Amino acid sequence: MPPRKPRPGPKASGPKAALVAPLTAPAKPARSRRPKPVDREMVAEIFRRFRDANPEPRGELEHTDPYTLLVAVVLSAQATDAGVNKATRELFRVADRPDKMVALGEDGVREHIRTLNFLNTKARNVVALSHRLVEEHGGVVPPIRAVLESLPGVGGKSASVVLNMAFGEPTIAVDTHIFRVASRIPLVRADAPLETQAKLERIVPPEFRLLAHHWLILHGRYVCKARRPECWRCLIRDLCRYEPKTPAPAS
């Protein structure tokens, strides 16, 4: 008897094709199993405690004006603030304005940021955005999101940081630290940084919104660390729903 032909599986074409889940689809963590975000009263209490502990939090990227902040932010992609500061101290000594940066040129910028990663792309972007500022905006950084986001090397997160720190807009740019902290507590339920930003900007009370970005970054960088959060010394430990909390290391 000739071997039987295998039966064709269910057809997955036409408008319903997208509804047929592929057998190999990776399992997504069920949203409902994550703890419920804290309520607005607790959000306010969390930020009250951050403010009481550190009334004037500051970003750690060194800069003197909106332009040097913008350059520092562009250079900070995939790099530490300390590493960027080390490079910009030298760079800004010779080029702290867009026209000077254009005159320095890509090779000159590269020389000063040699300790950073992606230095070719970063040098190209810094010179190109400086050129655009000189040609189109009189050499100044405009406080306009659409313009900032159109500059080479400047994405939505970088634009939010500049708008917040240089122009006092109450944006909450979400980096890896803020995304982690907001998901652990949780302040919001979101799958991506942009969704987290939109939700944070809705739920953080107005009086805390301008500085929320700094408080959350500092908390993530020094207490709610990626590999091992230091829950035993966390000032919002009783409000946070992350489990299990980490105990103090044995002395």
Q: How far is the CB of 58 from ligand SF4 (least distance, A)?
A: 21
Which residues participate in catalysis according to the annotation? 157, 175
Q: Does 43 bind ligand SF4 (CB under 6 A)?
A: no
Q: What are residue 3's phi and psi, to 5 degrees?
A: -65, 145
Torsion of CA 195, 201, 203, 207, to 10 degrees: 160
Neighbours of 141 (CB within 10 A): 22
Q: Do 106 and 82 touch, CB atoms closer than 8 A?
A: no
Residue 104, both tokens = 């320095």
Q: How far is the CB of 230 from ligand SF4 (least distance, A)?
A: 6
Single out the segment in contact with ligand SF4 by CB under 6 A; choices: 52-60, 78-86, 187-195, 228-236.
Answer: 228-236
Residue among 120 and 232 whose Cβ is closer to ligand SF4: 232
In the window 145-184, what residues touch ligand SF4 (CB under 6 A)? 184
Cα–Cα–Cα angle for 170, 171, 176, nearest 5°? Answer: 140
Q: Do 140 and 154 touch, CB atoms closer than 8 A?
A: no
Q: Do 16 and 222 touch, CB atoms closer than 8 A?
A: no
Q: Which helix (H) or strand (E) holds 243?
A: none
Task: Tell me which residue of 215, 216, 208, 214 sits closest to 177, measured CA to CA.
Answer: 216
Single out the segment in contact with ligand SF4 by CB under 6 A; choices: 9-17, 61-69, 205-213, 238-246.
Answer: 238-246
The single residue among 49, 124, 132, 237 that binds ligand SF4, judged by CB under 6 A, is 237
The single residue among 57, 153, 186, 229 that binds ligand SF4, judged by CB under 6 A, is 229
The single residue among 234, 249, 250, 251 that binds ligand SF4, judged by CB under 6 A, is 234
Give the number of residues in contact with ligand SF4, rule: CB under 6 A: 13
Distance between CA atoms of 123 and 74, rounded to whole angstroms? 10
The single residue among 51, 223, 227, 248 that binds ligand SF4, judged by CB under 6 A, is 223
In the window 180-219, what residues touch ligand SF4 (CB under 6 A)? 184-185
Contact positions vs ligand SF4 (CB under 6 A):
184-185, 223-224, 229-231, 234, 236-237, 240, 242, 245
